[in-house]
Amino acid sequence: MSFLEILQARLESQRNNTVQMRVSTEPLQDQINELTTQLKGRLPKTPPDAIANAVERFRQDRRIRDSHDALLVSHGCDRPFGQMRFRLIEDRERFPAVRSSIDRFRKYRLVFRDCYKGLLDTYLGYHPEMRGASGTGRPNWEMLRSWLDTGAKGLRDPDGIEEEWVPELAAHPELFSSAPVDAFALQVLKGNEQAFLQFQQALRIERTSWLLEQVILAQVRAAAKVGIMPYIAKLLPLLERLGTQNPAVFNQGLVEVLTAYCADSGGALHGALRDFSLHFWGNPLSLQAEKKTGWATVPLKPRNMVKNWFNLHVIQQFFDVLAKQDKSEPRDVRKKRERRRDFWSKYADVVGEVKFALGPDARSSQDPAMVEVRQLMEGMTLNLQNGGSSQNNAFFMQFKDWVVAEFGHENNACFIYRASDIPFEDGDTAISAQAIRHHINSSFSNGPRGPVRLLHKDGSYENWEDVFEQALRDRGTPMPVPMRQSDAASTHWSPQVSGDKPKKRAVDSMAAQQEDFGWPSADRSAAPVIAGNPVERVADRVSSAGQNGSARAWRNPSISRPSTGDTGSPASATPATSASTSNGLIDNLPFGATQEKELFNVCREYDIPVRDMRERTGHLWVVLDRPDDIRMTPLLQAYGFKYRPGRGWWRQALSRPSADGTAGSQSAPASPAASNVPIANLPFGAKQEKELFNLCRHYDIFVRDMRGRTSYLWVVLDQPEDSRITPLLQAYGFKYRPGQGWWRQA
């Protein structure tokens, strides 16, 4: 074989053995997956000060310059700015211009999607009936809802990577309907919250959104469709939490619960539902309560159902508490008292107006049971005089044209009067036991069917109950059918707040709100953390749900703007010498080396120049020509700075402060901070509490008011050296606890 033939054979063999190279792509795929996850959770950068500047420019020019301006303005439509708390969404002329300007970017999907998300946050964060909203906001809000519904169709990108909120929104178009969360209601009601939590986290729905309140109402409606009776125990705690935040929505929810329960049960007694309704709305027999509380909106049938429950309850409470003579009551006396209770309880469905005459012991006793009864009977009591015993009380029940009077002590007779001839008048505050006992003797037309005096004594052939029943029948009141009892008749409900009765106040803590509903936070500024099951009931429940249903109280932090300060010249300025001389948001605080450092840090954070002219003119300047800057004005006024138009904020100082917080040898008059702590304690009253809450709302710092249970007020800020608010907290006597925040004992 020749050399060429050998070479040809070798080349042929090499051609059949091709070279194969294997390279692992797993690291590359991991990087792709990580980048995809980041893109799906992407949030556009919208600094608060940039938003404020963009909104102010748009307010003046009524035009959006570029896509970045469009992004900033769309994220600031629901935020209040300036001393007048201007909101774009409440401006009838400017807000439509925002929508039309953003429509120009529809062909640029990424830009339009970011702007759409800003307006979606506005829709979820603002409601025309929330506290502090203007009536002009409703038309814009409704137009925005329609615009969002239409614009959602242009968000999807089948060939690209979508943020996680886009497919979630596409799967739930009902968000823009009158029933925005009904799709989740039955699942959440049955304990499966995962779908809604995923929806909430994807859209980053904030804890202050009205949508969380609608989740509760949706559960009520879902329970009404499938049968509400098994779900009462779950719905009442949810409504209780809602009652502390939004009386109007609370009233709507409780009306629907009562209506559905009445239809399902036929009016059978439910002890917990009775206690709950009476706690928040009060006596359903009271005309005043009926007009001023949620009773006004309850349909007639369920309202009569609760009235019957109330009648039975007060009858039982009279004989179980007021008629009980002492703890060591003899057995035979107890039996007689219980017989009277059981007899009159049968008439709960037909009794009309009731009144109580309380003796000295009942009026002054601090026994918890007695206090509870007095609260229950509020507006229905008289003072009983000359009752023979300080423990004796009386009870009046009206049956159409007749009134029955019973005493607490069993050795007293029962009296039946004509309703037109009773021993007291409307408006009387007291009645004599002698007048009750002897009124029949002075009455006229006594006869078989006239006024009568009855004794609780059994005869030879009949019990006293038979005699009483016949006497009532003769006077037009037959024995009614006994009230139906459900399995829940003996259940009870009690509020998770200490105190004598529901207190009417607005809840200042925005932090506890979402915990109350059981949903985790989903702030715009940070990626949310998925939470597990709803948290346990927070104990600091304080009810304002007794207010009129028309008095809307939608939750949203309302920022109180400070005054613009003094615009006088430096020559006329004098250092503040008292914490009460400031007319700004915060009383004057001392300004030492520590406070100076903190102020400089804040100015650097916001890129605000500072000019230190103290060596030449004795003035320290913060070059911020805005008298109502919500970031800086409260702090500057607190430190004694004054505003000069065209230049900024200035403060006069005779020399630089020393390290211990006091001035040098040429120091200003003594300030309250003569101590080695950053700021000396200042008084903390109602005014200071309100100012602190306003400042916390501005900085999105949450407050938990636990004073009703533990006597602690918490500022949930786990930062011991936050330059924005630490000086004020220390001045007001708050203490820092790592992992929890700042607390103050009241």
329: in domain: yes
Mean pLDDT over each residue of the chain, to the nearest integer: 76
pLDDT the model gives residue 156: 76
pLDDT the model gives residue 665: 36
pLDDT the model gives residue 36: 54
Q: Is the dihedral of CA 198, 201, 202, 205 positive or negative?
A: positive
Least confident of 116-120, 346-350, 631-635, 643-647: 631-635
474, 495, 511 - which closes a domain: 474
Band (256; pLDDT cuts 50, 70, 90): very high
Q: Assess contact for 712 and 745: CB atoms under 8 A.
A: yes
Band (35; pLDDT cuts 50, 70, 90): low
401: in domain: yes
pLDDT the model gives residue 465: 92
Distance of alpha carbon 153 from alpha carbon 396, whole angstroms: 67
The total of structural domains in the chain comes to 2
Q: How would DSSP label each residue in 79-144?
A: S-BTTTTB-GGG-TTHHHHHHHHHHTTTTSHHHHHHHHHHHHHHHHH--TTBTT--TTHHHHHHHH
345: in domain: yes
Q: Assess contact for 77 and 87: CB atoms under 8 A.
A: yes
pLDDT the model gives residue 525: 39
93: in domain: yes
Mean per-residue pLDDT, 188-217: 89
235: in domain: no
Give SS3 for 254.
Answer: helix
- State yes or no: pLDDT of 657 exceeds 80: no
Band (146; pLDDT cuts 50, 70, 90): very high
Q: What angle do CA 431, 435, 437 make, to 5 degrees?
A: 120
The pLDDT tens digits for 529-581 are 323 333 232 223 223 333 333 322 222 222 222 333 333 333 333 333 333 33
Distance of alpha carbon 144 from alpha carbon 123, whole angstroms: 7
Range of the domain at 330: 321-474
- State yes or no: pLDDT of 29 exceeds 70: no
C-alpha distances in angstroms, 169 versus 154, 163, 186, 589?
12, 11, 19, 48
371: in domain: yes
Highest mean pLDDT pick, 117-121, 323-327, 560-564: 117-121
- State yes or no: pLDDT of 309 exceeds 80: yes
The pLDDT tens digits for 419-458 are 888 887 777 788 888 888 887 764 444 566 788 989 999 9
174, 198, 222 - which closes a domain: 174
Mean per-residue pLDDT, 22-37: 62
Residues paired with residue 250 on neighbouring β-strands, in sequence order: none
Band (289; pLDDT cuts 50, 70, 90): low
- State yes or no: pLDDT of 251 exceeds 80: yes
Distance of alpha carbon 269 from alpha carbon 306, whole angstroms: 9
pLDDT the model gives residue 180: 93
The pLDDT tens digits for 433-442 are 888 888 776 4
Highest mean pLDDT pick, 32-46, 364-378, 472-486, 687-701: 364-378
**H-run or E-run covering 649:** strand 648-652
Band (461; pLDDT cuts 50, 70, 90): confident
Please give the model's pTM, rounded to 2 decimal places. Answer: 0.61
The burial class, CB within 10 Å (0-12 / 13-18 / 19+), for 478 is exposed
The pLDDT tens digits for 403-413 are 999 998 878 89
Q: Which amino acid is at 70?
A: A
- Rounded to 5 degrees, φ, ψ at 279 are -65, -45
- State yes or no: pLDDT of 105 exceeds 70: yes
486: in domain: no
Secondary structure in 3-state letters for 288-315: HHHHHCHHHHCCHHHHHHHHHHHHHHHH
The candidate with the shortest Cα–Cα distance to 319, out of 307, 308, 335, is 335
CB atoms within 10 A of CB 217: 21
353-370: b or e for each residue (b if 16 or more CB lie within 10 Å)?
ebbbbbbbbbeebeeeeb
The pLDDT tens digits for 568-591 are 333 333 333 333 333 334 445 778
- State yes or no: pLDDT of 712 exceeds 80: yes
Paired tokens of 262: 């009445």
Q: Which amino acid is at 698?
A: H
- State yes or no: pLDDT of 81 exceeds 70: yes
722: in domain: no
174, 208, 232 - which closes a domain: 174
